[in-house]
Amino acid sequence: MHEVIFLEPVFKEMIWGGSRLSEDFGYDIPGDHTGECWAVSAHKNGDCLVRGGSFSGKHLSELWEKNRELFGGIAGDVFPLLVKIIDAKEDLSIQVHPDDAYAKEHENGSLGKTECWYILDCDKDAKIVIGHHAKSKEELKQMIEEGRFEDLIRVIPVKKGDFFQILPGTVHAIKGGTLILETQQNSDITYRLYDYGRLSDGKPRELHLEKSMDVIGCPHRDISADRTREQFAGAVKEHLVSCAYYTVDRLLINGGADFVMEEPFCIFSVVQGAGSIDGTEVRKGDHFILPAGYGKYCLSGEMELICSSVGR
Ligand code: ZN
């Protein structure tokens, strides 16, 4: 198969969302509280359509079901990844995800959720929440029971270009003024730990304290990103993360370079600039898949891409 598969994003309005998906990416968003662009998704809550080519108008889930050869014939009930761009104008609630084993048992056989964040842009003083300060499960339970969430959560500064791998059991939240590209397992299971006491339609949003306490790892352990760079004549490939679920790289194209795809398939998101893939023009905001067997490809122009593939 030697065809680039372009996808149409699905947008989600969120109370914390903004309008940067329109302003920065030129997307036609449904309103000025648009929080999420589901750029590459086969999830039932937002299943992307193929734009152009032999599969035009089909959902990604349908390709996964009926044309598994496009994805190297890999096993799985659902398309394994979900790539999003998130525009957080306001703070998101503080949450934690279960792992596969916990989700399977407690959430009707769902997958758990490992996710990672590449900070596309953020305000000068932007922060995120990653981890917590409780030294043991007992201390964690006590702090939650006493409602000492502000003491519990670990807030850290972020800057453009930072990258974070977020394992299941990690307390986390995106805070306002942050634009993120997220690659994650295809799952929606989220336990809300704390919502800053905010009200939505006059009521606090539901919290999931018991399940949160079950899954939060104590004490918190940071994952150190192992970012390595490979220099090409007209490009730089920076490796961001590899885990059991995905591999994520960042490509900086300055002129152009040839690459060879070794993964079953690759998802590309153009996050800056413009250029082409094998002569087809692409620009910031485009998302596409190179299917199995695509082999050698050439990226040219002046652009930055995030490349996500299944774990190795
Ligand atoms: Zn999350």
Whole-number Å distance, alpha carbon 227 to ligand 1 midpoint, is 22
- Beta-bridge partner residues of 302: 254, 274
Whole-number Å distance, alpha carbon 114 to ligand 1 midpoint, is 8
What is the rounded distance in angstroms from the CA atom of residue 255 to the CA atom of residue 275? 9
pTM of the predicted structure, to 2 decimals: 0.95
Whole-number Å distance, alpha carbon 13 to ligand 1 midpoint, is 17
Whole-number Å distance, alpha carbon 52 to ligand 1 midpoint, is 32
Whole-number Å distance, alpha carbon 100 to ligand 1 midpoint, is 14
3-state secondary structure of 89: coil
Burial profile 105-132: b = 16 or more Cβ within 10 angstroms, e = fewer: eebeebbbbbbbbbbbbbeeebbbbbbb
205 is catalytic: no
3-state secondary structure of 199: strand
**What is the enclosing helix (H) or strand (E) of 101?**
helix 100-106
3-state secondary structure of 140: helix
Per-residue pLDDT of the chain (312 residues; tens, 9 = 90+): 689 999 999 999 999 999 999 999 999 999 999 999 999 999 999 999 999 999 999 999 999 999 999 999 999 999 999 999 999 999 999 999 999 999 999 999 888 999 999 999 999 999 999 999 999 999 999 999 999 999 999 999 999 999 999 999 999 999 999 999 999 998 889 999 999 988 878 898 899 999 999 999 999 998 887 799 999 999 999 999 999 999 999 999 999 999 999 999 999 999 999 999 999 999 999 999 999 999 999 999 999 999 999 976
Whole-number Å distance, alpha carbon 96 to ligand 1 midpoint, is 6
Q: Which of 68, 148, 192, 221 is catalytic?
A: 192
**How far from 20 is each of 17, 24, 27, 71, 211, CA to CA, in Å?**
9, 5, 9, 32, 33
pLDDT tens figures, 134-156: 999 999 999 999 999 999 999 99
Using the 8-state DSSP alphabet, how is residue 296 labeled? E
Largest distance between two CA atoms of the chain: 60
